[in-house]
Chains A and B, each alone.
Chain A
Amino acid sequence: MRRNLLDLFARYGYELVQPPLVEYVESLFTQDDRALDLKTFKLVDELTGRQMGLRADITPQVARIDAHLLNRQGVARLCYAGSVVTTRPDGILATREPRQIGAEIYGVAGIAADVEIVELMVESLSLAGVTDLRLEIGHLGLFNALADAAGLRGELREQVFVALQQKDSPGLRELTADLSAEAAAGLLALASCYGDGGVMAEARAALPALPAVTAALDTLESLQQALAVRGIEIGFDLSELHSSYYHTGLVFNAYTPGFANAVARGGRYDSVGEKFGRSRPATGFSLDVRALTQLPFPSVKPGILAPAGDAPELVAAIRALRQQGETVIVDLGVQADEVAYDRKLQQAGDQWQVISLTMG
């Protein structure tokens, strides 16, 4: 599946990058990313005494590649696939070693890039066999605008953020009790703005008409229209804020029955390269291939069992079969029954022949 997804990305013009699994910690984080810092396993490099980390996310590494190694003026479309290791799993029943695969566009601020990313995400999921898909988008700019307007800072801002993620209206009411009535009402309204198309009208009526709020709502609406043209239906969840630490604007999550967590997520992270000396607009998505396959072992095509031996004809016959793309398993004399085969290589005169073992 990883193969198929990468081929799909290639057809959209994405270049594969392969950042290292272990790097100096400074290279693994963007800004002062405390949450990502805590999720990263660390070790000390004995050569330099500097701290190294096992990557817990690939996006910051890709951002660094975009900023330094490529340093292009125009658009960069990059994709990656690899394991990440996290100290804490991302959700219940989630693995601590997800196989992250994703695609990102650097250098485009406009919504066209987001449309392409969402389209690619949906196509990736359908390639992975996810058909019943529910896509939800939100915009971090809404929360940020409202929180700024309300003068929320520090711990309180974080608490409000967490309460919003849980749509914890009673909790929000407690937390915002000391704010101005307008600010509190705006934050509360955000918690109940989720659902289909009608939500936009509701949000425009309920949220204060700050310039940033209007801009974010406009973005959401135009994304919806652009995706509708492509036959992709989306829902809104304006309090859906938890995608990742570095997201700055649009965020989108894909849900499907049978999975308690989002199966793919993404969004915009415009300032992600800033720490690496170059701030470029960026958008992208990622998914955990391992969660999607959910198969303990890949199913193997049965092969051909061949006897062990040094006869030149036998060696030649085995080599020929393997070159034809067949799986040939040499019987080493120990528990041959435990390997999957449905044919056997047998000697007939001075010829070696493949005999089918399946009963007619």
Chain B
Amino acid sequence: MITIALSKGRIFEETLPLLAAAGITPAEDPEKSRKLIIGTNRDDVRLIIVRATDVPTYVEHGAADLGVAGRDVLLEHGGDGLYQPLDLDIAKCSLMVAVREGYDYDAAVKQGARLKIATKYVKQAREHFADKGVHVDLIKLYGSMELAPLVGLADAIVDLVSTGGTLKANKLVAVEHIRDISSRLVLNQAALKLKRDRLQPMLDAFRGAIGTGR
């Protein structure tokens, strides 16, 4: 049995064509079903629906053989003990610093300054500001980060931005680009060794579907 860990929403939808390339079709749509384990047209392949941040954990422990996780999630998790051979080039967005409209970010991030940053991505935010030589107080939030600068919880946020719609609606502006994010295929290390005969064809099919040079 091969178990694939996916998260609902954008990653699931954009992974579907890749699964199709490997000859795998889910039996149900997770948006409609409340089941967490979803069968496929192949008896030996099943999908499990987990939170995006949990994908690396499931795969690392071998509860899933492979999964799709955003680079943001992997960088926070550390990625130790996983193989991540493929950039799937899906669910693309950017990790950005954003502030309230009218806030003078450039003046505030001078070397040696001290800022309050609200973010879900503590590790990446810490690294980013350490590289710039700026002191930051990091405030870990689990969602609705856009709110933090508006109510005075933080000076700036570090968050994923894809269209910029949420920022705009909340009168925030992106001021700094940290890195581009897309989703990676992650594999359990022992699984790739023990089930290579079944995983490798899948891997090759994914690679074929994303196109060469990746």
Residues on A close to B: CB < 8 A?
91-93, 134, 136, 166-171, 191-192, 194-195, 235, 237, 255-257, 259-262
Q: Tell me the complex Cα distance, A260–B65, Å.
A: 10
Residues in B with CB closer than 8 Å to A92 are 60-61, 81
- A235-B79 contact given A167-B85, A192-B85, CB 8 Å threshold: no
Instruction: Establish whether residues A136 and B193, one from each chain, have CB atoms under 8 Å apart when the complex forms.
Output: yes
Interface status of B82 (Cβ within 8 A of chain A): yes
A255's partner among B81, B86, B193 (CB-CB below 8 A) is B193
Chain B interface, number of residues (Cβ within 8 angstroms): 23
Residues in A with CB closer than 8 Å to B94 are none
Instruction: Establish whether residues A235 and B193, one from each chain, have CB atoms under 8 Å apart when the complex forms.
Output: yes
- A195-B81 contact given A93-B61, A169-B86, CB 8 Å threshold: no
Q: Tell me the complex Cα distance, A262–B81, Å.
A: 11
Residues of B57-83 at the interface with A, using a CB-CB cut-off of 8 Å, are 60-62, 79-83
Instruction: Establish whether residues A134 and B85, one from each chain, have CB atoms under 8 Å apart when the complex forms.
Output: no
Min Cβ gap B6→A in Å is: 19
Instruction: Establish whether residues A260 and B60, one from each chain, have CB atoms under 8 Å apart when the complex forms.
Output: yes
Q: Tell me the complex Cα distance, A256–B82, Å.
A: 17
Residues in B with CB closer than 8 Å to A259 are 190
- Residue ID in chain B nearest A172 by CB atoms: B85
Min Cβ gap A107→B in Å is: 32
Q: Tell me the complex Cα distance, A259–B188, Å.
A: 11
- Residue ID in chain A nearest B60 by CB atoms: A92
Interface string of B172-214 (1 = CB under 8 A from A): 0000000000001001111011101000100000000000001
Residues in A with CB closer than 8 Å to B62 are 260
9 pairs, CB–CB < 8 Å, chain A vs chain B: A92-B61, A166-B84, A167-B83, A167-B85, A170-B87, A257-B190, A260-B60, A260-B81, A260-B188
Not counting A170-B86, A260-B60, a sample of 17 additional A-B residue pairs whose C-beta atoms are within 8 angstroms of each other reads A91-B81, A134-B193, A136-B193, A166-B79, A166-B84, A167-B83, A167-B84, A169-B214, A195-B196, A237-B193, A255-B193, A257-B190, A257-B194, A260-B61, A260-B62, A260-B188, A261-B81
Interface string of B122-138 (1 = CB under 8 A from A): 00000000000000000
Q: Tell me the complex Cα distance, A195–B187, Å.
A: 15
Q: Tell me the complex Cα distance, A341–B85, Å.
A: 56
Q: Tell me the complex Cα distance, A168–B84, Å.
A: 5
Interface string of B84-114 (1 = CB under 8 A from A): 1111000000000000000000000000000
Q: Tell me the complex Cα distance, A117–B214, Å.
A: 39
4 nearest CB pairs, A to B: A170-B87, A167-B83, A167-B85, A260-B62
Q: Tell me the complex Cα distance, A170–B82, Å.
A: 14
Residues in B with CB closer than 8 Å to A237 are 193
Q: Tell me the complex Cα distance, A134–B82, Å.
A: 18
Q: Tell me the complex Cα distance, A194–B194, Å.
A: 12
- Residue ID in chain B nearest A259 by CB atoms: B190
Instruction: Establish whether residues A170 and B214, one from each chain, have CB atoms under 8 Å apart when the complex forms.
Output: yes
- Residue ID in chain A nearest B80 by CB atoms: A166
B190's partner among A166, A194, A261 (CB-CB below 8 A) is A261
Min Cβ gap B46→A in Å is: 17
Min Cβ gap B192→A in Å is: 8
Q: Tell me the complex Cα distance, A351–B177, Å.
A: 90
Instruction: Establish whether residues A195 and B200, one from each chain, have CB atoms under 8 Å apart when the complex forms.
Output: yes
Q: Tell me the complex Cα distance, A186–B148, Å.
A: 47
Q: Tell me the complex Cα distance, A259–B80, Å.
A: 16
Q: Tell me the complex Cα distance, A235–B190, Å.
A: 13
- Residue ID in chain B nearest A133 by CB atoms: B194
Q: Tell me the complex Cα distance, A255–B83, Å.
A: 15
- Residue ID in chain A nearest B85 by CB atoms: A167
Instruction: Establish whether residues A169 and B194, one from each chain, have CB atoms under 8 Å apart when the complex forms.
Output: no
Q: Tell me the complex Cα distance, A171–B85, Å.
A: 9
Instruction: Establish whether residues A260 and B190, one from each chain, have CB atoms under 8 Å apart when the complex forms.
Output: yes
Residues in B with CB closer than 8 Å to A192 are 85
Residues in B with CB closer than 8 Å to A235 are 193, 196
Min Cβ gap B94→A in Å is: 16
B194's partner among A134, A171, A195 (CB-CB below 8 A) is A134
Min Cβ gap B60→A in Å is: 6
A171's partner among B81, B84, B192 (CB-CB below 8 A) is B84
Residues in A with CB closer than 8 Å to B84 are 166-168, 170-171
Q: Tell me the complex Cα distance, A260–B80, Å.
A: 12
Q: Tell me the complex Cα distance, A303–B17, Å.
A: 64
- Residue ID in chain B nearest A91 by CB atoms: B81
Q: Tell me the complex Cα distance, A136–B61, Å.
A: 20
Instruction: Establish whether residues B190 and A191, one from each chain, have CB atoms under 8 Å apart when the complex forms.
Output: no
- A191-B61 contact given A136-B193, A259-B190, CB 8 Å threshold: no
Residues in B with CB closer than 8 Å to A93 are 61
Instruction: Establish whether residues B194 and A255, one from each chain, have CB atoms under 8 Å apart when the complex forms.
Output: yes
- Residue ID in chain A nearest B200 by CB atoms: A195
Chain B CB within 10 Å, residue with most, of A260, A261, A262: A260
Instruction: Establish whether residues A168 and B190, one from each chain, have CB atoms under 8 Å apart when the complex forms.
Output: no
- Residue ID in chain B nearest A170 by CB atoms: B87
Residues in B with CB closer than 8 Å to A195 are 196, 200
